[in-house]
Amino acid sequence: MKFTVQRTSFLKKLAEVQLAISTRTTIPILTGIKITAGADGITLTGSDSDISIETFLDAENEEYQLSIEEPGSIVLQPARFFSDIVRKLPDDFFTLEVLEHFQTAITSDTSSFTIHGLDAENYPRLPQIDEQNAFHISVPLLKQVIRQTVIAVSIHESRPILTGVNLSIQDGKMRAVATDSHRLSQRVIPLDVGDSVSENIVVPGKSLTELSRLLGDSTDEVEAVIAENQILFKTNDTYFYSRLLEGNYPNTERLIPATANTYVTLEASRLLGAIERASLLSHAGKNNVVKMTIEKGSVTITGNSPEIGRVEEEVVFKAIEGEPLEISFNPDYMKDALNTFGQVEVVLQLLSPLRPFVVVPNEDEQEFIQLITPIRTS
């Protein structure tokens, strides 16, 4: 195998594939990157067995200025070492050539490296996915759904199914929901699939976070293809594979209160600022708790640390309806939830001091819900 390519453009593609490569894998060859050169271009592949990314450098794309002299394939490891070499090469172009016994020469201007490679035939095959169950979604919308839900996935492996986001597709809608049993985030979006796709899967939160990073600032559409134990996200030149979590996701619809006794309408950013300031003291103390007091004419946020002091702040609101209420909560959960709304008005719907409460946008409240479980303080 031998090819010459524009170094900066190659590095961008290399960085995409490296998102899937982990140094903690139990399969040594997966610490490397697979490079395959064919007549039409170069394919780069990285995997940690949970996530696999395959991206293509088209020989006809002038950005890559790609010249392929001899097809072939090689695995170079560790991937980060190979990436560091390419990044520090002196010229705008470099040539990669596989010699005898998988020795690989990398040359650029007056610089020349020779590193050990591995037989690409030993690299695990990517899964073959039947593209029958597929749907399209815009990249900005998909990234928004990911950002709004992954905050609530569990980081504890005691219940592995909760470390993922449940994607339920039915009747032309997709419901994405995540919960760690202390909080819940749910977003519902329409899909242009009619009744042709009906699925209920759980995608690891880590996979969705890496997918969001991979997609970057693209405004294109991505195609998602669901198989028995895999999901594939396809862009023009990149394939992102993720395994699915096994098991039944809990029925979360019953967790969302159907009624409330107290409603508060205010700007998400104002409430977020007040909670951030109150949490300065709550974090410094032994208990990470912030209290919100809702009365007929006021909303007050209080943070208290016996060791340091106390902060109290009134929050400007638009409307209050219902009963007075005092409720305590984890400020980090609340900050995560409010950050997903941006610069919009939200409605807090509260039932009682010890029952979960929800935060919804002032419009389309059924499409996006954040739920927080209060903390008992007495």
Query: Which residues of the chain, if any, have pLDDT below 50?
Result: none
* Structure token pair of residue 5: 């390519």
Residue 20 amino acid letter: A
The DSSP call for residue 243 is E
Sign of the CA dihedral running 124, 13, 17, 216: negative
Question: Tokens in use for 105?
Answer: 């020469």
Give the span between the Cα atoms of 117 and 119, in whole angstroms. 7
End-to-end, the C-alpha distance of the chain in Å comes to 70
Please count the other Cβ atoms lying within 10 Å of the Cβ belonging to residue 106.
18
* CA pair distance 148, 344, nearest whole angstrom: 14
Answer positive or negative: Cα dihedral of 306, 308, 310, 311: negative
Q: CA 112 to CA 364: how far, in whole Å?
A: 60
CA dist list (Å): 41 to 57, 183, 195, 200? 5, 47, 38, 37
pTM equals 0.92
Residue 306 confidence (pLDDT): 76
C-beta of residue 148 within 8 angstroms of C-beta of residue 189: no
Collapsed DSSP state (helix, strand, coil) of residue 207: helix
List the structure tokens of 225: 């293809």
* Strand order from edge to edge, sheet including 164-170: 199-204, 164-170, 173-179, 183-190, 368-372, 357-361, 345-350, 262-267, 319-322
Tens of pLDDT, residue by residue over 131-179, are 778 899 999 999 999 999 999 999 988 899 999 999 999 988 999 999 9
The Cα angle at residue 143 between residues 275 and 155, in degrees rounded to 5: 60
Cα separation, 100 vs 74, whole angstroms: 12
CA–CA separation, 85 vs 106, rounded Å? 9
